[in-house]
Amino acid sequence: MLTVSCAEMTASLILRSMQDNFFIPDGLPELDKIAVRRCAGRVLDIGAGAGSHSLAIQDRGLDVTSIDISAKAVTVMSERGCRDARVGDVFDSYSAPFDTILVILKHWDCAESGRPCQVSQTA
């Protein structure tokens, strides 16, 4: 069984959470670098957060569409240089197919509501 639990947070905790989980000042972790290297063709980055993975994919010369359900995250992605950042989710329709779909689930955050979510699996 997959359980998602959310708790209320203050604005300062939300900002600290976003800094700790979305901005990667020392570069991507090794497993994430492998995932980025395996991307090919047209890429959809789902739950792109601050766009760190999308920017690494763009640096490889690939066309990447970066989506997140948070308009605030999309603003951050755009300001950081993601060329095609959009508010959206996996259920949206797109005009052309993607060759690679990237989903890196390190942290789920309900940024709009200020409620961080923790995901756990139980037997």
Count: domains in the chain: 1
For 27-80, the pLDDT digits (tens) are 888 999 999 999 999 999 999 998 999 999 999 999 999 999 999 999 999 999
**Containing structural domain, residue 76:** 2-121
Encode burial over 21-30: b for 16+ CB neighbours within 10 A, e otherwise: ebeeeeebee
**What kind and span of H or E run contains 13?**
helix 11-22
Return the pLDDT at 94: 87
Structure tokens of 98? 């993607």
pTM above 0.75, yes or no: no
pLDDT band at 96 (very low <50, low <70, confident <90, very high): confident
Residue 46 is part of a domain; what is its CATH number? 3.40.50.150
CA dihedral for 50, 54, 58, 60, sign (positive or negative): positive
Name the phi and psi angles at 3, rounded to 5: -120, 130
pLDDT at 118: 44
What would the two tokens of residue 112 be? 């709009």
| Tens of pLDDT, residues 17-42 | 444 445 555 688 899 999 999 999 99
Strands laid side by side in the 2-6 sheet: 2-6, 115-121, 108-110
**Residue 7 — very low, low, confident or very high, per pLDDT cuts 50/70/90?**
very low
